[in-house]
Chain A
Amino acid sequence: AQSVAQPEDQVNVAEGNPLTVKCTYSVSGNPYLFWYVQYPNRGLQFLLKYITGDNLVKGSYGFEAEFNKSQTSFHLKKPSALVSDSALYFCAVRDGNFGNEKLTFGTGTRLTIIP
């Protein structure tokens, strides 16, 4: 079985400060990892993914994430937070083995950027 844990329900960061949203995962095969963002009354918007290669991946809107295999983590980061980054963030994992293509999501972290 595959699972994702987002240990923080809520993260508050002052505008201009760096932000981190934490994610750890469990999967039997090769992990395919994703971050999505959800704004109020909207669907999920893709931010970035790790499939293979460089452990540091860069995505939309200045976000990046670091894959750490030994810690089974995939934390989302941004050097300088904007008020417009305030939203609900979901980490998701998929087993890279063919035939098991469902995404398993965490429970989400609400990010609030304080002006």
Chain B
Amino acid sequence: ETGVTQSPTHLIKTRGQQVTLRCSSQSGHNTVSWYQQALGQGPQFIFQYYREEENGRGNFPPRFSGLQFPNYSSELNVNALELDDSALYLCASRWTGEETQYFGPGTRLLVL
């Protein structure tokens, strides 16, 4: 196991609702990235946080937003949920000088 934890493990929401997913980084890691993995696809980069600021973003709309806290834990917020938001959401952490990202087990979100 990597030491990256995510909560909850599973979540069911209805279209239009809002959701918050949480990630606790591996000890000593100060950079957090979030990825969306749709069924049968590879993970897609959503955004990255470093020093509590977003410093990189993929092709996702503004209703996907995030936070990083002083202890380097992180949240992913998704507003106005759509059916296509159903996916496995993965958090990955690393130390900024290290190239390897270490992934958590993911949160599986189902939007009905």
Contact = CB atoms under 8 A, between A and B. Distances in A.
A22 interface: no
26 contacts: A34-B100, A36-B103, A42-B106, A43-B90, A43-B105, A44-B103, A45-B103, A46-B100, A46-B101, A46-B102, A46-B103, A51-B99, A90-B43, A92-B42, A94-B99, A100-B56, A101-B48, A102-B45, A102-B58, A103-B35, A103-B43, A103-B101, A104-B45, A105-B42, A105-B43, A107-B40
A103 B4 CA distance: 18
B106 A43 contact: yes
Interface of A: 4, 32, 34, 36, 42-46, 49, 51, 90, 92, 94, 99-108
B57 to A, nearest CB: 9
B99 A49 contact: yes
Interface string B39-79: 01111110010000000101000000000000000000000
A42 B17 CA distance: 26
Nearest to A46: B100
Interface residues of B, number: 25
B48 A102 contact: yes
Interface of B: 2, 4, 6, 31, 33, 35, 40-45, 48, 56, 58, 90, 92, 99-106
- State the majority secondary structure of interface residues on A: strand
Contacts of B4: 43
Contacts of A100: 56
